[in-house]
Chain A
Amino acid sequence: MTDISLAPRPVDSEFASATQGAARSREVFLPANSRRPTALASVWRRLHWPLGIYTTPVLILVVWEVAGLTGILPPMYAPTPTDIAATAVQLWNDGVLGPDLAISLQRAGLGLALGLSVGIVTGVLGGFLRRGEYLFNGLAQILNTIPLLAVLPLMIVWFGIDELTKVLLIAFGAGVPMYLNLFAAIRGVDHRLIEMARTTGAGRSRIVTWVLLPGALPGFLVGLRFSLAYSVLGLVAAETVNANQGLGFLVTQAQTYLQTNQVFVGLVIYSILGLLADQVVRILERVLLRWRPSYEAT
């Protein structure tokens, strides 16, 4: 008590000037286009992020190219981007790349189709039915904790070194995240909306098709994103083991003969597959989630 009363009180004039200072700093808002853009500003705007999200990758490619040409990066470690592109064209013309790519895409497509089908069917059953949850959920959680790469040796023992192992590995990679995300998405639909739909007299099938499935769509697309990414991962893992065709085979073979440029061709194609998968999901999101105004960063 006494301590407080003995403490020096803030001087009134000091206090007043502080508030006055705060009052003096003000903000004025005008229409965004009210300031006439100067020539410099318009040039700056045009140069500003001209390539969108690909600005950084392109910048890295340019630096890489320059570093390669000036000899800072030896071609043995990292051939220049133009060299990689030339190698890709050459491999294509030699009739190596085309069939390899086709067989890889076929594997990825089969694996994805299988994994997504199983993931979606079990996810829907698990999401809608308590019995489905008891049947599938524990198993999916266990499978989710097993790394994809750790299953590979077991699958080779079980299913041999043929196509089946590769397709199943990709399906495993795609199916588990689809199940988990779809299950969580269906269970996460706002129960107040379901309750409301019941009171309007909507039947069970209408509640499923009008409320639960559209409500689970954002989560489904998250699952699809993971599934596509993991399927590419599964593809790489499956193909680097005992393949005699496909992109992975190309990469392994190139590695054996120390043809770094061919290794890079394989990596570039894998990354393009990943990018394409991402774009597909983006387009699906834009079409299917039109109702959801999303956050646009400045």
Chain B
Amino acid sequence: MTAAAVGVPRQQTGVVVEQVVRTFGERTVLDHLDLTIDDEELVVLLGPSGCGKSTLLRLLAGLDRPDGGRIEVPVNRAIVFQGDRLLPWQRVLRNVTLGLRGPDADQRARKALTDVHLSDRESAWPKQLSGGEAQRVALARALVSEPELILLDEPFAALDAITRVRMHELVRELRRAHHASMLLVTHDVDEAIALADRIVIMNSGRIGNAHRVELSARDREASIAREELRLALLAELGLANPH
């Protein structure tokens, strides 16, 4: 391959990661990693703390550059971080319009806030929101630009269990209205099963096994197939004894 061809996109949609290497000093965090995400697919990246999940996500976001390999992502992409990262000095509506230009910005932001069921909180200050509400505003801020790729970096990890389940419902609902590829990084096996089209396990800087999840919403909550998947995932994460 010539040097010029490396920078040219090969695919129209989705994400392509090829042989990506990222090192911090002596430590190789990503070791010739490959991953593709199809159009409108939700891939969950599951792995223990410190396995390089967040590093990969930051590379896809363009917040960091790889030391080797090739990454291809849509230009129009958005991230939801673990913390809400709202600007405390802007009201909720202004936080959503942060990246927007044009006269219809407010209108689009209001629609995004309605999508996350927060239309009545647009003039609140971020410090007045609960953790779940703040994270929903962060979701609205990501959705408002109608991105082709949404990267979610453990977005619900800091929320309580009940709020987290509600957020999972919300994500499913949002997927019906917004058509985007999604990569969700988590260490929560149940969250992975609840949301994923495909679960990929990450270990020591590489992608291990992939599991395509084709269960109905009810089967994802309770079914024999779900339990089998859960045990398989736990085993691959090195937590073989589930009890």
Instruction: Report A's interface with B, CB cutoff 8 A.
Output: 192-193, 195-202, 206, 210-211, 214-215, 217, 289-293
Contacts and interface: CB of A to CB of B under 8 A. Distances in A.
Contact of A292 (B87, B88, B98): B88
A214 B90 CA distance: 9
A196 B151 CA distance: 12
Contacts of B62: 199
- Please classify the interface of chain A as helix (H, G, I), strand (E, B), loop, or mixed, using the class held by over half of its residues: helix
Contacts of B98: 197, 200, 202, 206, 210
B29 to A, nearest CB: 19
B94 A291 contact: no
Contacts of A192: 81, 83, 85
Nearest to B151: A199
A158 to B, nearest CB: 43
Contacts of A198: 63
> Max chain A CB contacts within 10 Å: which of B85, B125, B141?
B85
Contacts of A202: 98-99
A291 B61 contact: no
B13 interface: no
Interface of B: 61-63, 77-79, 81, 83, 85, 87-90, 94, 98-99, 125-127, 141, 145
28 contacts: A192-B85, A196-B81, A197-B87, A197-B98, A197-B99, A198-B63, A199-B62, A200-B98, A201-B99, A201-B145, A202-B98, A202-B99, A210-B87, A210-B90, A210-B94, A210-B98, A214-B89, A215-B87, A289-B89, A290-B125, A291-B88, A291-B89, A291-B125, A291-B126, A291-B127, A292-B89, A292-B127, A293-B127
Contacts of A201: 99, 145
A200 B87 contact: no
A199 B127 contact: no
Contact of A199 (B63, B88, B89, B90): B63
Contacts of A200: 78, 98-99, 141, 145
Nearest to A213: B89
B122 to A, nearest CB: 15
Contact of A196 (B77, B85, B127, B145): B85
A56 to B, nearest CB: 33
Nearest to B75: A201
Nearest to A207: B98
A266 B5 CA distance: 79
A286 B121 CA distance: 22
A199 B87 contact: no
A119 B213 CA distance: 60
B71 to A, nearest CB: 15
B145 A199 contact: no
Please give me the 4 A-B residue pairs with the lowest Cβ-Cβ distance, nearest first.
A200-B99, A201-B99, A196-B85, A214-B89
A277 B63 CA distance: 44
Contacts of A215: 87, 89
A292 B87 CA distance: 11
Given A206-B98, A214-B90, 14 more contacts: A192-B81, A192-B83, A193-B85, A193-B87, A196-B81, A197-B98, A197-B99, A199-B61, A199-B62, A202-B98, A202-B99, A210-B87, A210-B90, A211-B87
